[in-house]
Copies of this chain bind each other. A is one copy, B any other.
């Protein structure tokens, strides 16, 4: 007998029929003798419908009232799924975030879980009940309803799995696992059986939107085995494991686990800025003050003299505002220099824990791109990731060329 926490996202519970299908799936696990806690999101479209109503009334609703509003979405789903389980003869009880005791701080719309009171739920499980829990929501010490931010249902699932010491947290979604890259761009992309938490974090933050980053962090921190799998078809999915749990004996560990990419960034460069201590904070301070998040940062060494070039990327939606801040605030403060920008760029990243112990990944990457006549505009590296910025129109070509060159294509691995 195992204890599973199973999380079903909005698409998986998006209609009455799908809710019934989820109930059948849960029943299967229970019939096999397992204990099950189910975490659900709002039915797909519901959260947007509610936010639409709010915006028709007040374009700047307070976070507390927004949480009060959108938390109803999951509450609807837990009651409907529990009714569906009852219909199948499965004893089940629904819980709001408040009822289950998911205690958070008071940062409405982006609250953080502080502790979970699992006593009642544990009792229910021992009594043979399936516990159906509203994802995405919690309650603060004053009893206000909070939400964990978009995609927070994943976090609820992992946090519950950690608190209950579950055998596995299963995240059911509309894809059947984590892929080497996006199959829509590269038809040779394939599902990974396992991936490490670190790799997953790099892939998630780089645009493979399978799992919420916080949920993966949580899973890594509390050592919760996390599996991504499809609501709609059977299959093993992808198991996300701690680095140390990966098979140490595998000599054939691939260098690269996956390729992430995004065209949603823009690049800004300050040319000929004075190369003196404190200049970086003078440049980035006003950007941060405007709540603009900065992704890559590259500062070239001054080739000669006291001047340098400083380049960074922001989300494409922040491009114009960032340009304005640089021109109107930063340049006058620096006293000299020049601003350049480009919002027709893309970022392509190789991710893999294997590259830690293998040299030459970067040089191979650059060679492959060069052979395709793809110009590299920026480079940034971490222990398990290399990211390059290229022209937006060359992004897909870069992804496919790298996917093949690093042995990720289907045929390559199948023939090994």
Contacts and interface: CB of A to CB of B under 8 A. Distances in A.
27 contacts: A16-B53, A19-B57, A20-B57, A50-B76, A53-B76, A53-B80, A57-B84, A57-B87, A58-B84, A61-B79, A61-B83, A62-B82, A64-B93, A65-B82, A65-B86, A66-B79, A68-B75, A68-B78, A68-B82, A69-B76, A69-B80, A71-B75, A72-B76, A75-B75, A96-B145, A99-B143, A99-B144
A54 B57 CA distance: 29
A96 B64 CA distance: 13
Contact of A69 (B16, B79, B144): B79
Contacts of A93: 64
Most buried by B among A54, A80, A145: A80
B68 A54 contact: no
A46 to B, nearest CB: 10
A56 interface: yes
B80 A94 contact: no
A230 interface: no
B61 A86 contact: yes
A98 interface: yes
Given A72-B72, A75-B68, A78-B68, A83 B98 contact: no
Given A98-B98, A99-B143, A54 B69 contact: no
Contact of A72 (B66, B75, B83, B143): B75
Contact of A68 (B19, B62, B66, B94): B94
Given A54-B80, A62-B82, 11 more contacts: A16-B57, A57-B80, A57-B83, A58-B83, A58-B86, A62-B83, A62-B86, A65-B79, A69-B79, A72-B72, A72-B76
Interface in A71-122: 71-72, 75-76, 78-80, 82-84, 86-87, 93-94, 96, 98-99
How many copies the complex holds: the figure is 2
Interface of A: 16, 19-20, 50, 53-54, 56-58, 61-62, 64-66, 68-69, 71-72, 75-76, 78-80, 82-84, 86-87, 93-94, 96, 98-99, 143-145
A350 to B, nearest CB: 45
A168 B173 CA distance: 52
Contact of A65 (B19, B68, B94): B94
A98 B16 CA distance: 28
Contacts of A19: 57
A62 B132 CA distance: 15
A87 B143 CA distance: 24
Across the A-B interface, the 6 shortest Cβ-Cβ residue pairs: A69-B79, A72-B72, A58-B83, A68-B79, A58-B87, A16-B56
A58 B88 CA distance: 9
Contacts of A99: 143-144
Contacts of A78: 68
Contacts of A94: 64-65, 68
Nearest to A87: B58
A84 B65 CA distance: 11
A19 B57 CA distance: 8
Contacts of A64: 93-94
Nearest to A52: B16
A98 to B, nearest CB: 7
A76 B49 CA distance: 11
| Best-buried of A54, A58, A99, A144 by chain B (most CB within 10 Å) | A58
A69 B86 CA distance: 15
Contacts of A57: 16, 19-20, 80, 83-84, 87
A24 to B, nearest CB: 12
B72 A54 contact: no
A71 B98 CA distance: 14
A10 to B, nearest CB: 15
A195 B54 CA distance: 39
